[in-house]
Structure formats: C-alpha cells, structure tokens
Structure 1
Amino acid sequence: MVAVVEVSAGPRTTVAYARAALGLLPGLRPSGSGTLPDVEILHRGVTVDRGHLAAYDRICGFRLTDLLPATYPHVLAFPLAMRLMSDPGFPLPLIGLIHITNRITVHRPIDAGATLDLTVRAAALRDHARGRQFDVTTTATVNGAEVWRGVSTYLHLDGSSTAPAPTAAAPAFPAPGGSVWRIPARTGTDYAAISGDRNPIHTSRLGARAFGFPRPIAHGMWSKARCLAALEGRLPDTYTVDVAFKKPIPLPARVRFHSTQEGATRTFSLGSEGPHLAGVVTP
C-alpha cells in the first residue's frame, strides 16, 4: 500500500541540492541497487502566483494568458519531486540524474485561478543500457478530478558514459525549413531561478564539467516548453505531448525548430548538428 505524505510545501530547492551534494561524499553515496520508496507526496490547495506565471511565460516564450501552459504544473510540483528524490533513503543520487523523456497529458485547460492538489510518486526502477532509470509521475487535480498528468523518466549513468543512449526515433537532421533560435547563455540561470531546478549542470561551468559537459546545458523542460510555446494556437484543448531529450544543448546555442502536422498528430524537433529533442503531440 502506498504511503501518502501530505506536506504544506516542498523544500527550498537550494537546500535540497545541498543535501543531495552531501550524499555524493564517499560512504554516503546511494548504491543504486535499492528500491524506490513506496511513497506519494501530496500538496493540497496549491494556487498560482500570477507574477511567477508571467515570468515563466516570458522565459519560455508563451503568451500571457489566464490559462496555464502545459509545462507549468511540472514547475509547481518540482519542489515535491525534489523532496522525494533528495531523501537520504532514495536509491539514486539526485545530482547527476539525466532527464531523458517526458510525457504530459492535458485533460482539460487549467485556469490560472484554479486551486490544485498535486501529487508526486517515483516508480518503475529498471535497467537501462547506460545505467538505471525510473519514472516520476505527477498529477494535478481540481475538485477531485485529474486535469493534468506528467511522467518524467530519469537516468542514472553507471559511470561508463557521460551521455545517455538514444531513447526514441528522431526526425532526420538537419530538417528542412523551420525556425532558427539563438539561445543565450543566461537561459540556464534564468530558468533555474523561476523553476527551482538549480542542478549545477545548468547553472555552473564547473558543475557542468564535473559531469562531462564543456559548459552549462539548457534544461530539458525549458526546451520542451519553448517548443510548445512556438506551437501556441495550433494545439487542441486536450492532448498528450511526448518528448525524448536526445542531446544536451550547450549554452549559448543556435538551434533549429521544426514542426509538421500529419492528420491529428503533430511532430516537432529541435536540433543543430544533430537532434536535441524530438516530440509528438496526439489529441
């Protein structure tokens, strides 16, 4: 039976990352061979700060509206996920985890004035060609009805590689047409400040180098949000959007966004010399 832990807020993410960093010390590092905690973190009565939402919209490229972007509940629930994954009993270290896929299902548009109940749970610890992976499932409900669900898959490398193996087929690159985006170096720190995701691979050159990246890389969820922002006005009210994060985006960057529609299905991609992100929207 799943144990439900109700909280009034998640931890400050800077504190959670500091606690996670301590777990990397010799003798304190999780072995990766344990089991995931059978726990669900619940936060009731979450409301949206309009100023925070507006800042998020600006950073990710969304228009300012009274509806939440599809990726925004992920940010609201991120402190809960941090609480779960930075717990000393969690079997994998938080710092160094790589976000390899993300699925979001929007059951209905969410008004920014809605009061949400959020839950976060980790499950399905399993082998990967490069290490161990698991899923973090987040739900948002309004008056007891689920309106949003997100599933993030994270990978812990086994130490033999600094990059994950491909996780899904991607469109051929370079894709013809599309739009060229210039992503400034500050994107990592700007998004970290608004999302709470202060993983040093996104905010620090030293932190990035410690995990094999020559310079800080863009957040995967920023790149997904930026792609969905580019598709505003062309998405249905209810849909599922799957994304595979293929290759890190070192900052600053120049990338090409491409999108095609076939019937009710829309595919999109982001890449430069190769694919960084491949996504599909299904109604």
Structure 2
Amino acid sequence: MRLLTARDFPHPALGLVHLADAIERSRPLAPDEELSVAVHAEAAEPHPRGTAFAVVAEVRDADGAAVWRSTSTYLRRGRADAPHAGAEGGERAGSRARRASAEHAGAEGGAAGSGRAGPGGRGGPASSAGEVDGNAPTVTECWSLPADLGRRYARVSGDRNPIHLHPLTARPFGFRRPIAHGMWTTARALAALDEVLPESFAVNVRFRAPAELPSRPTFHAAPTADGGHAFGLTAATGRTLLTGEITPCP
C-alpha cells in the first residue's frame, strides 16, 4: 500500500481492480522468524478495459534465501495508458501484464454489472496445471461472506480501497455492492486446502467476476494427476467467480 499510494506512483490506488495472483512458496514460514520484504511494480500494459500492471513482492529469510514471492496483477479501469517504460521489470514485466490482460478480459472489474460469466464457465474447478483425478475425493463447501467482510479485512491488511467497503463507496466505481478483496479470497481458498498443501508449491488464481458482499458462494476443489489441486469459487447463480490451481514445486 505504501507503493501504491506514493506520490510518484503512476496509477491512482482508489478503484484498482485485482485481476490475478501468482504465488510461490519454497518452504513453510514460521510465525516467529525474521523476514525481509521487497516490493516493486512492473511495466504497465494496455488492457481491454484500461491499463494492467503487476506488483511483485519477494520475501527472504535471515540467510537471504527467497522463500516466498507473489505477483498480483491489477487493472486501472478507463482509457488505456501507454506502457510505463521506466517501471522496473522492462519487457519481461510488460509481457506478463499483457498475458494477464488477454486472459482476464472478463475478470472482476470488467464483469461487474455486465451479466456475463468470465472464462471458465459454471460449476466446479478447472485446471491448466494438470488433469483432475476423477477417482480422488473432492472438496465442496459453502462460504458465508458477510456484508462487513471488506471493512474487517481492510483493518487487518491496510487495503481500504472503496470498492470493498460499502455500497455507497463501491457504486462510483461501477459496483452495485462492495466486493471481497482478491487477496482475501486467495487466502481463504488456500485455508480450505491447508491440510493438503505441499511443503513447496505454486498457486495461480484468476478472478473471473466479483464476489459481492454479502453472498454465499460455493468453493470446489479436486486433486490433479500431478499431485496438485484445481479449485474454483461459484456464486449462487452458478457464475464462476474464481478459478485456480496449486502445483507442487520440486
């Protein structure tokens, strides 16, 4: 949030929409260990509904080893800006944002109020990391997302984006009701699978449509043949809100 709200940051923090998360964990982290965190923004790219850019956070332990890394892709809605050539990451970063832009054109910001389901259709989990093992047990659970979830998470995270807080503050940004934070839904999906998470893994999450507050979506997960899990979150209407996959790292 210090990065996004800095005076020289090229995009306003208010109204940013979270499109996707990619997280890599090389080992479990102890609650009491000392860690260093570095965060930077990568080059922006045009998106069908504005401008997309990635924020990368890297966590290192006391020995300097990288133990956790996340890449979150955000959308600034409106007219697309020219690529920000001075941003850290250069062409490689721009290519990543461009891929996210193409893949998530129907994601939470663009889908709000449109009535269209994003890619992934309806129902249970879909995976690009591996084929779902049809003989393995699956997970299905209903989540209860209260109306004040966005405000409660904002107090913990410091992310007080108005699209998450109240209907009156979400409406000017094109949302009928406040929506759940993307980081919260990613964390909640991982918590649902906590008992089966490998020691080292990568997780990719794509936000297909907004999870409105309050609501009662259904979470689905199934093991994949490569030892990971595919998962998804579905609204009561059948609309896909989120899809993702967990892949074990060597």
After TM superposition, the score normalised by the length of structure 1 is: 0.66
Match of 2:234 in 1: 271
The DSSP-based 3-state class of the residue aligned with 2:188 is helix
Q: Summarize the alignment of residues 89-238 of structure 1 with structure 2, pairs less than 5 Å apart.
A: 89-142=8-61, 143-158=63-78, 163-164=109-110, 169-170=119-120, 172-175=121-124, 178-238=140-200
State the alpha-carbon separation in 2 of the partners of residues 270 and 232 from structure 1: 16
* Deviation of the 1:265 alpha carbon: 2.7
Deviations 1:233-258 (A, max 9, x none): 11101000010111111111010100
Residue 175 (structure 1) shift: 3.0
1:253 alignment partner, SS class: coil
Q: Structure 2 CA distance, aligned partners of 1:134 and 1:276?
A: 21
Q: Distance in 1 between matches of 2:156 and 2:186?
A: 15
Question: 1:92-116 CA distances to partner (integer Å, 9 max, x unpaired)?
Answer: 1111111100111001111011101
Deviations 1:94-148 (A, max 9, x none): 1111110011100111101110110000012111111111111100001211100
TM-score (structure 2 length as normaliser): 0.75
The partner residue of 1:253 within 212, 215, 222 is: 215
Give distance in 2, aligned partners of 1:242 and 1:250.
21
Partners of 2:24 and 2:201 within 8 A in 1: yes
Higher relative contact order (CA 8 A, sep 6+): 2
Report the CA distance between 1:169 and its aligned residue.
Answer: 4.7
Write the mapping of 1:51-70 to structure 2, written as runs, cut at 5 A: none
Structure 1, unmatched stretches of 5+, are: 1-81
Residues matched between the structures, number: 200
CA distance in 2, matches of 1:236, 1:216: 33
User: Contact conserved, 2:51 with 2:79, CA < 8 A, in 1?
Assistant: no
Give the secondary-structure state (helix, strand or coil) at the position aligned to 1:210. helix
Report the residue type matching 2:232 in the other structure: S
Q: Comparing 157-166 with 218-227, which one deviates more in the overlay?
A: 157-166
Q: How does 1:75-86 map to 2 (within 5 A)?
A: 82-86=1-5
AA paired with 1:230?
A: A
Query: CA offset at residue 159 of structure 1?
Result: 5.8
Q: Is the 8 A contact 2:124 2:231 kept in 1?
A: no
Letter in structure 1 aligned against 2:231:
F
CA distance in 2, matches of 1:105, 1:248: 24
Cα deviation for residue 266 of structure 1 reads 1.0
Rounded Cα–Cα distance in structure 1 between residues aligned with 2:13 and 2:148: 23
Residue matched to 2:132: none
* Counterpart code for 1:270: L
Give 1:15-34 correspondences, 5 Å limit. none
1:213 deviates by 0.9
